[in-house]
Structure 1
Amino acid sequence: MKKDLEPVTMYHMFAKLFAHLAKEVSDTFGDAGKEAVRRAVKNFGEERGRDIARRAKAKGATNDLANYLTTYDMERSDHFEFTDTYGEDQIEQLFTRCVFANQWKEDQMEEYGYLYCEMIDPAIARGYNENLECIQEKHCFKDGVCAFCFRMKK
């Protein structure tokens, strides 16, 4: 099927909506607007993290590192390509395809997508467990892949 006739997923629509909102707020309010977008993403992420912790508790699990991805709230469709590597005290994730990043690149909205990407995963981790840190080692817009390391603070 031609690309212009392919179905549009909620992932694509979310990416487009976020970019347009972030652009409008940024254009209207400048750096203060960008900070407001970052705070909104942080708040959204922390709320998601708290809900993931609630999901873990409902399954009889604790909100520790071992249960983070098994109780995660967002399914991974074939629009994402990733590997999870479990270590003794950390989880590394490598995303080689991300529907959000691809959409922002296609729309030339990377600047606004980055406002989401820089905040979301650390905020979700913090909301899930205040001692869970997320270190983003590579970023799709700069490196072509996203690499994360999740670990409990010592």
Structure 2
Amino acid sequence: MNEKKIVSNKIADDLQPVSMYQMFARMFAHLAKEVVDEFGEKGAEAIKRGVWNFGVERGESVAKRAFARGKPNDSDNYLVSYDMDRSDEFESTDSYHEGYVEQIFSRCVFASEFQKAGMEKYGILYCEMIDPAIAYGYNPNLKCIHDKHFFTDNMCTFCFKMEKCKGSEE
């Protein structure tokens, strides 16, 4: 018997793979669009609540990761305990200060995918909610200030500040 085995999880060498980040962004945009188109503002609010709940769950996981490393869930240990690998599809600079961390993204696959598809209106529902929710789940005293967005500023800026800590005054 002359059988030929085919490995089905391999893509052809001449095809560019689509990353899970790209697929996630596309899927989110399409789901959010359907919900918002069908239910209007109530749908948008439901999507934002879902993103918030997802983010809080992730933040709780990040706190467990910090704890597993023997570290407190403060601003210094937030990004280093994060639950999502940073692929080359993201590019950021992190600056640590007493009581807060600043993060500037110059590349984000999620924003790029939302923009390529003309789905910024739906992508922003994710972008505005996810990081504040993750920070809250990690530590309710860690506030996320997200001043600039790719859709308007061609970059994203974040400041993760611990409330009532030296250096965290606005």
Note whether the superposition's TM-score is higher than 0.5: yes
Secondary structure of 2:83's aligned partner: coil
1:53 aligns with 2:44: no
CA distance in 2, matches of 1:137, 1:23: 24
Q: Which 5+ residue runs of structure 2 have no aligned equivalent?
A: 1-13, 165-170
Secondary structure class of the residue paired with 2:28: helix
Partner of residue 83 from structure 1, selected from 71, 93, 110? 93
Alpha-carbon offset, residue 66 of structure 1: 1.1
Deviations 1:5-62 (A, max 9, x none): 4210000000000000000000111100000000000000000000000111111111
Paired amino acid for 2:151: F
| CA deviation vs aligned residue, 1:55-90 (integer Å, no higher than 9, x gap) | 111111111111101110001111011100111221
Aligned residues: 151
Following superposition of structure 1 onto structure 2, how do residues 5-154 of structure 1 map, counting pairs within 5 Å? Answer: 5-154=15-164
Separation (CA, whole Å) in 2 of partners of 1:57 and 1:87 = 21
Letter aligned with residue 76 of structure 1: R
Indicate the structure (1 or 2) with the bigger Cα radius of gyration.
Answer: 2
SS at match of 1:93: strand
TM-score by length of 2: 0.87
Q: CA RMSD in A?
A: 1.1
Structure 2 distance, partners of 1:63, 1:40, is: 24
Larger helix proportion of the pair: 1
1:91-132 alpha-carbon deviations (Å, 9 max, x no partner): 000000000000010011111100000000000000000000
- Aligned to 1:83, what secondary structure does the other structure show? strand
**Amino acid of the structure 2 residue aligned with 1:72:** Y
Q: Structure 1, unaligned stretches of length 5 or more?
A: none
Give the TM-score normalised by structure 1.
0.96
Q: Which runs of 4+ in 1 moved over 4 A?
A: none
